[in-house]
Structure 1
Amino acid sequence: MNIKRLIYGIAAAGFTAMLIVCSSAYAADSSNILENQPKSQPYVFAWQFADSDAMKPRGGDSKGVPVTLDTKPSDAWLKLQQLCIGSYERDRRAILAMVGEFRVSFDFVEVAGFTDNYKPAVPYRNWATEKVYVLEDSGKHIVLQHVLLSQSIAADGTVEKPVLTKHWRQDWQYEPKQVLVYRGHNAWQSRAVPESERKGAWSQTVYQVDDSPRYGGVAVWQHLSNFSSWNSPDTWRPLPRREYTVRDDYQLLMGNNRQIILPTGWVHEQQNNKVVLDSNAQPQVLNAVIAREFGFNRYERITGFDFSLADAYVKNTEPFWSEIRKQWAELTSQGKPIQLRSAPDKGMLYLPVVTYADGMSEGKQRSAKEISGYAKKAVQDYLAEKGGASAKPSY
């Protein structure tokens, strides 16, 4: 199984006129370099006086095959730098600049603690090769799907088979009337977005690997000549796999996330508080925050990597995943609380839909009617009670 320059022309015809041609102001360097993983681990900031062995990052122990970085500014970046385009179109170009083929590094480190006898958690680090696809683009609504396709080198030097994983999805909506938010303890609900908040803004809604909900936020893109960034307000999020697999002392990430577009890729920054919730899905009265972490995920454009398995997966499974998206959209658009039986990946709720998609990826033929029926039942099976969006949450 298994992405110029500002030309000033001076014309004389009995008078002098300046012609400004709307084109990119960025000069491209077409050189490529071959990048291997570093021989030694780079410095991790924030804890200079901690024992180095105790703070050795976990994760990312495998070594990936060499990749070729694309060091010239991308076409998407050049289009983003063009003059004479409105803010809406520049926003769209910034979002679409996240599409393509990337080497990705994931880094998370706790930077502050708020409990007695606090000891910082071991930092987390990982890597991947990843392609970001455009699944939908209707102008004001853009759907981007991330797919991991990583290939490692074994200890004996042999190249292992590529491993494909449907990763997270991000939906962008211009001036949204509502946004999906996390309520804690596996509950979600759409909230209305006031007109004053949505004017000129975009919502980013993030979904899990199985297209179940994760979190959403609303903010305005910021553009400063060669800088484009979208920064969410603080939002609630369930624990990611990197956390819940190693600890159970808190239930909520409360923080913001920022997308910054670069000439040769983009970065995803996070600043999160780790929060303890009470049984009513509210931050507990005393000692609610146990720690604060920073996250930095770097997406660097690559060239020449074989993503054909990922391309085939997206093509073959899209009829099914589009139905899954449709079912979740119908549930969340009603504005009623949605309570899941458990965290989708922690409770293995995702397994039936992922297995079904794998079958289609491997060539199993499904009729549109069969796909639609299975998708509807699969999404209903996530809910804590039968009856769809009317299921009562625990908070």
Structure 2
Amino acid sequence: MNRITDTGLPASMEARLCLMSLLLVLAMPLAAQSPGNAGGGKQRQYTYSWLFAEEAAMAPRGGTTRGPEVTLEREPADAWQALQEPDITARERDRRAILAMAGDYRTTFDFIETIGLTPGYEPARPYRSWGTERVYVVKDTPHAVSLQHILVTRIRQDDGELSEPFVVKHWRQDWHYEDRNVQAFVAPGLWAHERLDEQDAEGRWTQSVFQVDDSPRYEASGVWVHSGDHSYWQSDQRRRPLPRREFSVRDDYQALLGSHRITITPSGWVQEEDALKLVLMDDTGPHPETPHLAREAGLSRYERIRDYDFSPGDDYWQRTGPFWSAVRDYWSGVYAQHRDFRLEDTVDGKPLFVSLFELAEAYADEPKDTLSSLSALMARAVIIEPE
């Protein structure tokens, strides 16, 4: 029997619509996103522009779609006020800074190559995207915090009407205090366990960043600094896999080597990124002659908003949350082995994230069978390297 959901649609149809939303939103940055009213609609110029480059050649990838009008939250959030309280421990202030990233946001993403490092270098087109997303607290303990990002995006259509919301489980970030076990990205599909010295972990937090399907992206270590009008965390330099905005259009480099800084402000937070585009050999080492193509700067702004309807995201997270908890548990078991591992991003000709999102939608009707399918899928996708 096909269950009827709260939307009035059969569960199988809702699952297909959710997957279509995922694919459409993930594709939008390549086809048609720009900051709209949920970010603007006007073409904006970059400060770090290439002044003498052909204008058309440097038009940002992203296009001209717009979202609805949003209302920015002008008053400092409760989480910001809690961060300012006196007489709390350094670890607790760090934890509150991390929790201050939860909430409702208009987000904008800008990336541009600022320095070319090869003979005859021609700058690539910059990238720009936007969204509206809610950041949920998944876990909150004195030593660990987990935050899940979920996009709820509406597009202004040609007739002026807003589209139905596109709901996508976006990225996740996990934070651990004085964590000595790091999952280090090495090369496409390969991660290595790294054990930090005790002194290198003291007073520091690791941030683990995960893909939309909860597979790993990268993990970095850093220290929180608090200075009254803002708090920031600076990561160490680590290899990172290519993001979707790059691997879908580039094949001339294989990794990013970079660091990032997260700054908490009264009205939201900002992530600044600084990365080299790294060319790898088959043995995962840098190319001996041209190890780096360019340096890239990235700026992601999370501006707090209010009165935006994120209820479709709430509904999705309530319906699929238990399934994604099982996925996280699977990965925790992999990490607990403290071994290197490989990840296949395609199983049976289908992208891993597509299979996982299909299982997430099936979970409510058939939880036992879905978890069995999850185990079988991940056993084929993840290969633990021999010691």
- Match for residue 222 of structure 2 among 206, 210, 219: 219
Q: Which residue does 1:389 correspond to in 2?
A: 384
Aligned pair 1:162/2:165, yes or no? yes
Q: Which runs of structure 2 are paired with 1:138-217 in the superposition (5 Å)?
A: 138-217=141-220
Q: Which residue does 2:329 correspond to in 1?
A: 326
Q: Give the alignment's Cα RMSD to 1 decimal.
A: 1.8
Identity %: 40
Q: Which one-letter code corresponds to 1:109 in the other structure?
A: I
Aligned counterparts of 1:379 and 1:309: Cα–Cα separation in 2: 28
If each structure's helix is expressed as a fraction of its own residues, which one has the higher value? Answer: 2
Aligned pair 1:257/2:257, yes or no? no
Q: Which residue does 2:304 correspond to in 1?
A: 301
Aligned counterparts of 2:325 and 2:109: Cα–Cα separation in 1: 28
Aligned counterparts of 1:207 and 1:55: Cα–Cα separation in 2: 30
TM superposition shift of 1:55: 1.2
Aligned counterparts of 1:343 and 1:274: Cα–Cα separation in 2: 24
Aligned pair 1:87/2:90, yes or no? yes
- Match for residue 102 of structure 1 among 105, 122, 128: 105
TM superposition shift of 1:277: 0.2
Q: Which residue does 1:365 correspond to in 2?
A: 365
Preserved contact between residue 323 and residue 371 of structure 1 (Cα < 8 Å): no
Gaps of 5+ in 1: 3-34
The secondary structure found in structure 2 opposite 1:247 is coil
Aligned counterparts of 2:373 and 2:153: Cα–Cα separation in 1: 30
Aligned counterparts of 2:114 and 2:71: Cα–Cα separation in 1: 33
Q: Deviations over 1:116-157 (max 9, x none)?
A: 111110000000000100111122111110011100011121
Aligned pair 1:233/2:232, yes or no? no
Preserved contact between residue 184 and residue 193 of structure 2 (Cα < 8 Å): yes
TM superposition shift of 1:258: 1.3
Preserved contact between residue 174 and residue 209 of structure 2 (Cα < 8 Å): yes
Aligned counterparts of 1:38 and 1:196: Cα–Cα separation in 2: 47
Q: Which runs of structure 2 are paired with 1:106-145 in the superposition (5 Å)?
A: 106-145=109-148
Structure 1-normalised TM-score?
Answer: 0.85
Aligned counterparts of 2:360 and 2:354: Cα–Cα separation in 1: 10
Q: Which residue does 1:380 correspond to in 2?
A: 379
Aligned counterparts of 1:335 and 1:281: Cα–Cα separation in 2: 20
Q: Which residue does 1:317 correspond to in 2?
A: 320
Shift in CA distance, 135/122, structure 1 to aligned 2, threshold 3 Å: same
Q: Which one-letter code corresponds to 1:374 in the other structure?
A: S
The secondary structure found in structure 1 opposite 2:139 is strand
- Match for residue 276 of structure 2 among 273, 277, 300: 273
Q: Which one-letter code corresponds to 1:318 in the other structure?
A: G
TM superposition shift of 1:347: 6.5
The secondary structure found in structure 2 opposite 1:41 is coil
Q: Which one-letter code corresponds to 1:379 in the other structure?
A: M
Preserved contact between residue 171 and residue 204 of structure 1 (Cα < 8 Å): yes
Preserved contact between residue 359 and residue 374 of structure 2 (Cα < 8 Å): no
TM superposition shift of 1:343: 7.1
Q: Which one-letter code corresponds to 1:57 in the other structure?
A: P
Structure 2-normalised TM-score?
Answer: 0.87
Aligned pair 1:285/2:288, yes or no? yes
Q: Deviations over 1:10-45 (max 9, x none)?
A: xxxxxxxxxxxxxxxxxxxxxxxxx66435222212
Aligned counterparts of 2:119 and 2:206: Cα–Cα separation in 1: 38
Q: Which residue does 2:46 correspond to in 1?
A: 44
Runs of 4+ in 1 over 6 A off after TM superposition: none
- Matched length: 351
Shift in CA distance, 148/172, structure 1 to aligned 2, threshold 3 Å: same
Aligned counterparts of 2:110 and 2:350: Cα–Cα separation in 1: 26
TM superposition shift of 1:373: 2.6
Aligned counterparts of 1:211 and 1:36: Cα–Cα separation in 2: 27
Aligned counterparts of 1:380 and 1:152: Cα–Cα separation in 2: 38
Q: Which one-letter code corresponds to 1:105 in the other structure?
A: T
Aligned counterparts of 1:371 and 1:148: Cα–Cα separation in 2: 24
Q: Which residue does 1:248 correspond to in 2?
A: 251
